[in-house]
Structure formats: structure tokens, C-alpha cells
Chain A
Amino acid sequence: MGNVKLDRLTKRYGDADAAAVDDVSLDIERGEFMVLLGPSGCGKSTTLRMIAGLEPITGGTLSIDGEVMNRVPARDRDIAMVFQSYALYPHMTVFDNLAFGLKRRGFAREEIDRRVTDAAGILGLAPYLARKPHALSGGQRQRVALGRAIVRDPKVFLFDEPLSNLDAALRVSMRNELVKLHQRLGTTMIYVTHDQVEAMSMGSRICIMQDGRVAQVGRPLDVYRHPANTFVASFLGSPQINLVESGVTPGEDGRSTLVVGGARIHAHCPPGHSRVIVGIRPEDFYLPGEAPDDAVGASLAARVLAVEALGAETVLLLDVEGVEKDVTARVGRSAHTAAGDLVELTVDTRAMRLFDAASGVALDPGSTTG
């Protein structure tokens, strides 16, 4: 088990102007499942590879259990990594793939046998130990890659998009197995993905990255409910959050009036803003009669442009008077609406988030309650 601390970690490739990873600070606690989440090219893999020791660190310090690791070679860091491509040794059997790292570390034969058998048991690989990787299915290869990390019993596990090559069903089941594995081993895990569902469902905390920087770190639901800026807000959640620019009319005792389309919404808004971006998640819209009793609502008139009945829920694409962008709402599955209908939606204003119109930074996150 290990505590991994990134202190202003920076990576610049060659003589590139922009840093691939820029001033990233992150304190990952022992036993934590930390997910690095972000769009393609935001520096997730680079960060992970610096932790692994596969990529030299340009600036800042990396420490594991209090020990500075910047100059420690990968093989002495006691870290195991699972690669997106699995990176199985093609010329070795599954057994040898699992045992390769142990052999190097000088374990006795019996100990190697025991560990490999254990890991193979956990991962259901026992029948394939004598096979070479080319004779395995994608899912089985994935397990071998996982097993290779498990047998080492390292301080820290690193995963770089390990599930992205699996089909949807397998991905879901592997997701659950990884979570179980984490609970069972209790080892620190750092997991890179660009899939928000993986991040939300697996991480004890998630770290959202944008252009090489940390945009926000926090528990999945906290980040989801209180995004630090519009980037985080729109990156998490599907369908995406609705971001609508709105004017602000200050009122008495800190309650201002926001004008969203034709509707006037009362909300707390820190003084000094004449325009804000209002973020409303699709699930915070309610059709008449659907709103929970304690919802603090504002009403919004809209015309339905399209209806996507997904079974478990219905997604409406709406045209709101005075709002340029189409608005998405996620309503109950029993909604009887058709394109062209005029509907009166209730917005739960407690769940509404306000962002600075210019910078996109959240205004006083968590206290828009009216």
C-alpha cells in the first residue's frame, strides 16, 4: 500500500512549448482508488507514466510513501501497471507472463507457483496457464494483464484505460471485478480513463484534467453536483449539462433574479456579476406532476423538438423561448409528449449551478439554494 504524492508535477516533451502535464498536484491516499479523467490528449497517460517511472519528470516532485521518486528507475518503484494494449509477452505462456516479474525479483519457485496459481484462480485463468497470448480472447488477455500486476503485490497499481478494448458487456463486468479486486486487495490504485461512467462508478475520488492541468479533484458525486467550472460540468454527465447564459438583476438580501429565457429564477448569486452561466442538469427538469414535493421550482415554458424514449427514461430536446441553444431534459419514462408539444417544465433550482460568464469558474459552489 502506498501514498502517492504529486507536487507541481510537470512534463514537457522535447522542446515543445506547451507542457503536456502542467503543475499537477495531487495527494493520493493509501488504499485509494483515484481516477484520472479527461478528454483525449489532456495528459492523463503522461501523468501515469511519470508515476510509473517510464517518463522522465521535467519539474516538480513525485513521492511515494514520503520518499522522493523522481530519479528512481521504474523497476525500483514497486509499482505495477496495466496497459491499454495489455502488452503481454507474445513469446511466453500465460504462466510465464505472470511469473516474469516475480522471477526477476528472485522469488523462490514455490512462491512463484503459489502466487501465479492464486492470481489465476481469482481471475479465472487457471485453464489457460499453458497457452500463449495469441490463443486467448480479448477478455482473457485483459485478465492476464491484470494478473501480471496482481502477482507482484505492489505498493501501487496503475491502469491506463485497461477496459477500452473490450466490448460493452465485458467492460461492465470487468468494471465490477476491478472494484471488487480493489476492495479485496486494498491497494492504492490509479486509474486513467476518458469514460465518465467508469470514473463515476469506480473511483473513490476522481481527478478531472484539462490541457495538462487539474480541473477538479473530489468524490465522484461531489464533482458531479458541484463542478468547479463549466468544463467539468459539461464533461461529466450524459446527456450533457445545459449551460445557459443569463442576466442577473440583484435583489435584496443577496437573492438575485436570473433571467433564463422567459423565466425569472430567484437564486443566490455573489454580488458583482451582471451575467452568469446557469448550469442545469437534464435530470433536474420535471414535467408537471413529476417534481418531488420538496423541489424548489421555477417554471419554464418550452416546445418539444424531439423525443428520445430510451425505455428507462425519456430524453426531450427542447426549444426554450429566448434561449439560443437547445435544452435537453431527462424526464420519467412514462412521459407522454410528442414533438411539437408545448410543455411547462419545473426546474429544481437547488440543483442549479452558476458559473462566471467570462471565466466559466463556478460561483460559490454548493450554495445556490433559494
Chain B
Amino acid sequence: MTTSIRFDLKHGFLVVALALYTAFAAGPFLWVASMSLRTTTEISAEPYALPDTLHFSKFAIAWTDGNYGTYFGNSVIVVLSAVAVLTVIGAMAAHCFARYRFPFRRFLYFLVFSTIIFPPQITIIALFQILVEYGLFNTRTGLVLAYVAFQLPITVYILESFFARIPSDLYDAARMDGYSEWEIFWRISLPVAMPALSTTVILNTILLWNEFLYAVVLITDDDKRTLPLGIQKYMGDQLIDIGMLATGLMIAIVPVVIVYVFFSEKLIQGMTAGAIK
């Protein structure tokens, strides 16, 4: 009896706590979502009201007139390329750090990882000049490369710790089965590390999708801009078009939510992983 009451209390407390947290986290999102369907005039009149009429046309306006279609396309291209390159290069580097003993291994690992301590503001000017020099300034390729460089250390770090936990017998077994080191990477390391790979994919996707600083410095043409820059477009010096801003935000947020929902199970697996036997 007492145990079940205590269980109910504990359970109830948990539900209340989670409900509060959900309201805290989802509230602003819902607010923006409702604003995205209202005009700025409506919002200024009554900021917290629910939409009267649903102005879905605002999305079309943002997409075409606001050039959001282009920004969205750029974001997709830049983020997908950067994440793909990051995942492959990061996994290869992590595989080597975790599986092979070679001279200066620890030093190299430290070198890669130490760049994590520099905030992006420190490197941005040098990066700007380098890209100008190589003709990569104001190109999407340049932005992709900057993103890869920026996210590589943490990617290698996450993957290395996972690869290091894969039992070495597994690799030896594959060697005995006739596979080369290169094939072992593709056929053993990558599939077995799927949970960790999903973690880095989702982490990098979300981070780069929202990335602003590099994008604003390294891209000047409107046609090459990514979504975070597009959102800024509705923030003039004097005036913020809050209604359109909300619409733009929704366009930017929805893909992230979709990616998260799609990968979240893997993400949790990756974070709690270690159960490879």
C-alpha cells in the first residue's frame, strides 16, 4: 500500500515537473508558430492572441518575395555537404586515432582537439583572409570548408571515444575473414558505430543549420545566403517586421524539428551507448 502511494506521489511529481519543462521549452515555439500566421499589425495590437484568420500566404510571400526559397536551398546544400564531409573525414580520423598506434598519435590528437578552445571570433579574420586568397570568399564551397574545419574536432572526439570501445577482436576477426583495413573501416567501423554517427550527424546538422557568424562574414551575395542570414533581413535598423520574422523562423525551425524527430532515438542510443558486446 505505502509503496504504491509513494510511487504515485513520485510519479505525479515527475509528471508536473515534465509538464512545466515542456511548457517552458515549447511555449516560445508555439508563440512564434502562432505569430507566423498573423500579420505584424495584428501582433502589435494583441501580442499573445491566437490567430484570427490563418495567413498561410505569409509563407508563400517569405518563400518567393523574401527570397527564402533560395536561402533554404543554400542552407540545405551547405549543411548537407558539410555534414557529409564531416562525417566521412571525422570517422576516418577517429578510426585511425582509435585503432592504430603510430608516432605522434597523442600529439596529433591533442593538436586536433585543442582547436576546440578557440572561440570562432578569434579565427574569423584569419579565415576571411585565407578564403579571399584562395578565391573561396563569398562561395558556398568556402563556407562548407569553414564549417568542416570548425566542427571537425568535436566530431572526431565523439567518434574516437566510440570507436575505441569497439572490441579489437572484431577487427581481428574481419582481418582473418580477409578484409583490408580500408574495407574494415567501411564494413565494420561505420556500421557498428551507427549510433555515434547519428549523434554527430544530428549535432552537426542542427548547429550548422543555425550557424550565423561564419555565414554573415564569409557570404555577401544575397543569392548565396543561408537561412539564418535571411531571417535577419526582416530586422531593419529601425523597424522589425515581427510577423514576417516569425514566418521566417518557422521555415528555419521546421527542418530541424524533423531531423530531430527522425534521428532522436539514435541520438539517445548514441549518448547512452557502450553496449557493444
Q: Which residues of A contact B (CB under 8 A)?
A: 49, 52-54, 73-75, 79-81, 83-91, 100-101, 104-105, 134, 148, 152
Q: Is B175 in the interface zone, CB < 8 Å from A?
A: yes
User: Residue on B with the closest CB to A154?
Assistant: B176
Contact between B179 and A89, CB atoms less than 8 A apart: no
Taking A75-B180, A100-B177 as known contacts, 14 extra A-B pairs with beta carbons closer than 8 A to each other, sorted by chain A number, are: A54-B175, A74-B176, A75-B178, A81-B176, A83-B172, A87-B167, A87-B170, A89-B174, A90-B277, A91-B194, A104-B179, A104-B183, A105-B178, A148-B173
In the bound complex, residues from chain A placing their C-beta under 8 Å from that of B173 are: 81, 83, 87-89, 148
In the bound complex, residues from chain B placing their C-beta under 8 Å from that of A80 are: 176
Q: Is B169 in the interface zone, CB < 8 Å from A?
A: yes
Q: How far is the CA of A101 from the CA of B174 in the complex (A)?
A: 8
Closest 10 interchain pairs by CB? A101-B177, A87-B169, A87-B173, A104-B178, A75-B178, A91-B191, A83-B169, A74-B175, A85-B169, A81-B176
Q: Determine how close the nearest CB of chain A comes to the CB of B276; give it in whole angstroms.
A: 6
Contact between B170 and A89, CB atoms less than 8 A apart: yes
Q: Determine how close the nearest CB of chain A comes to the CB of B224; give it in whole angstroms.
A: 40
In the bound complex, residues from chain B placing their C-beta under 8 Å from that of A83 are: 169, 172-173
Q: Is B192 in the interface zone, CB < 8 Å from A?
A: yes
Q: A89-B173, A90-B276 are in contact. Are A101 and B167 (CB under 8 A)?
A: no
Q: Is B188 in the interface zone, CB < 8 Å from A?
A: yes
In the bound complex, residues from chain A placing their C-beta under 8 Å from that of B176 are: 52, 54, 74-75, 79-81, 101
Q: How far is the CA of A73 from the CA of B180 in the complex (A)?
A: 10
16 chain-A/chain-B pairs, Cβ below 8 angstroms: A52-B176, A54-B176, A74-B175, A74-B176, A75-B179, A81-B176, A83-B172, A83-B173, A87-B170, A87-B173, A89-B174, A90-B276, A91-B191, A91-B192, A91-B194, A105-B178
Q: How far is the CA of A54 from the CA of B169 in the complex (A)?
A: 10
Q: How large is the interface on B (under 10, 10 to 19, 20 to 34, 35 or more residues)?
A: 10 to 19
Contact between A148 and B177, CB atoms less than 8 A apart: yes
In the bound complex, residues from chain B placing their C-beta under 8 Å from that of A90 are: 170, 192, 276-277
Q: Determine how close the nearest CB of chain A comes to the CB of B180; give it in whole angstroms.
A: 7
Contact between A101 and B276, CB atoms less than 8 A apart: no
Q: Determine how close the nearest CB of chain B comes to the CB of A348; give it in whole angstroms.
A: 46
In the bound complex, residues from chain A placing their C-beta under 8 Å from that of B178 are: 75, 101, 104-105
Q: How far is the CA of A333 from the CA of B22 in the complex (A)?
A: 73
Q: Which of B175-201 contact A (CB under 8 A)?
A: 175-180, 183, 188, 191-192, 194
In the bound complex, residues from chain A placing their C-beta under 8 Å from that of B194 are: 91
User: Residue on B with the closest CB to A83?
Assistant: B169
In the bound complex, residues from chain A placing their C-beta under 8 Å from that of B276 are: 90
Q: Determine how close the nearest CB of chain A comes to the CB of B4; give it in whole angstroms.
A: 34
In the bound complex, residues from chain B placing their C-beta under 8 Å from that of A73 are: 175
What per-residue 1/0 map shows which CB atoms of B136-168 lie under 8 Å from chain A? 000000000000000000000000000000010
Q: How far is the CA of A73 from the CA of B179 in the complex (A)?
A: 10
Partner of B167, one of A85, A100, A148: A85
Q: How far is the CA of A205 from the CA of B173 in the complex (A)?
A: 26
In the bound complex, residues from chain A placing their C-beta under 8 Å from that of B177 are: 75, 100-101, 104, 148, 152
In the bound complex, residues from chain B placing their C-beta under 8 Å from that of A86 are: 169
Contact between A54 and B172, CB atoms less than 8 A apart: yes
Which of B173, B188, B191, B277 has the most chain A CB within a 10 Å cutoff? B173
In the bound complex, residues from chain B placing their C-beta under 8 Å from that of A79 are: 176
Q: Determine how close the nearest CB of chain B comes to the CB of A250; give it in whole angstroms.
A: 57
Q: How far is the CA of A36 from the CA of B192 in the complex (A)?
A: 33
Q: How far is the CA of A101 from the CA of B167 in the complex (A)?
A: 19
Q: Determine how close the nearest CB of chain B comes to the CB of A187; give it in whole angstroms.
A: 15
Q: How far is the CA of A73 from the CA of B176 in the complex (A)?
A: 9
Q: How far is the CA of A73 from the CA of B178 in the complex (A)?
A: 9
Q: How far is the CA of A83 from the CA of B168 in the complex (A)?
A: 11
Q: How far is the CA of A105 from the CA of B179 in the complex (A)?
A: 9
Q: Determine how close the nearest CB of chain B comes to the CB of A223; give it in whole angstroms.
A: 30
Q: Determine how close the nearest CB of chain B comes to the CB of A106; give it in whole angstroms.
A: 10
Q: Which of B53-88 contact A (CB under 8 A)?
A: none
Q: Determine how close the nearest CB of chain A comes to the CB of B102; give it in whole angstroms.
A: 13
Q: How far is the CA of A73 from the CA of B192 in the complex (A)?
A: 24
Q: Determine how close the nearest CB of chain B comes to the CB of A188; give it in whole angstroms.
A: 15
In the bound complex, residues from chain B placing their C-beta under 8 Å from that of A81 are: 172-173, 176
In the bound complex, residues from chain B placing their C-beta under 8 Å from that of A89 are: 170, 173-174, 188, 192
